[in-house]
Amino acid sequence: MTDAQGNPASGRTKWRRFAAAVIPAGIAVGALMTGVANGAVPVALNVSGQTFKVSADTLDGTGFAQYGAVTVTKDGKPIPVAASGIKSATLANLCQSVTVPGTPLTLVIRAGRGGTPASADNLIIGMSSLSGDATFTNIDIGQDASTLTKGGDGAHGEAGMFGQQADHVTITGLQQIAYSTHAGTFRLNGLDLHVSFTGEQCFADPAS
């Protein structure tokens, strides 16, 4: 395996606070918006524009790709995101929470507890942040986003944009803030969905 310059790279990479949005922010956002204006960058349409939190004790994924993308709200507002595609994933102790604007209410979904993880195929997440302890196997960093093949159906970006992919990824202590999630199949074993009147969330907001 080699890096973007053709130099040898190790087969496994571990980052302590894995930042999903690794692309240089200013260059990436400008290029993405230009691509959207020209009709070149694929976009996910009609998202609400509201973020939600997702956490898991462990995400174990086979086939991983990551690249810059744009999601668009119903009123046409473009939102740059870091898109992560995983061909097949399991998530232990999965939690998703979203707040009801202007109220203390939250909608909370939990699944994958008791030793039977939730699972998903062809998972694509449009996110603004992600943290955790991540280990990648056979990772290629700096690959052209249009040539990504390992992340499942549709998990690739625009030609000339930054991309990375790996055979396998494991993230422990996963915490992410996302705008959208798409999956070919999502199996929520032990599903529990409830409305919290006390502002329950999957994890606390980062300290300012």
Total domain count, the chain: 1
> Is the residue at 4 inside a domain?
no
The rounded distance, in Å, linking the Cα atoms of 73 and 179 is: 10
User: How far does Cα 168 stand from its chain's mean position?
Assistant: 15
Residue 156 in any domain: the answer is: yes
Q: What is the DSSP string of the chain?
A: -B-TTS-B--SEEEETT--S--S-HHHHHHHHHHHHHTT-S-EEEEE-S--EEEEEEEEEEEEEEEEEEEEEETT--EEEEEEEEEEEEEEETEEEEEE-TTSS-EEEEEES-TT--EEEEEEEEEEEEEEEEEEEES-EEEEEGGG--TT-TT----TTSEEEEEEEEEEEEEEEEEEEEE-SEEE-TT-EEEEESS---SSPPPP-
Q: What is the pLDDT of residue 69?
A: 85
- Position 38 scores a pLDDT of 45
Domain hosting residue 95, numbered range:
13-196
Residues in the chain with pLDDT < 50? 1-10, 15-43, 45, 208
Q: Is residue 202 part of a domain?
A: no
Asked if the structure places residue 206 within a domain, the reply is no
Residue 100 counted as domain residue: yes
- Residue at 7 is within a domain: no
Q: What is the pTM of this model?
A: 0.81
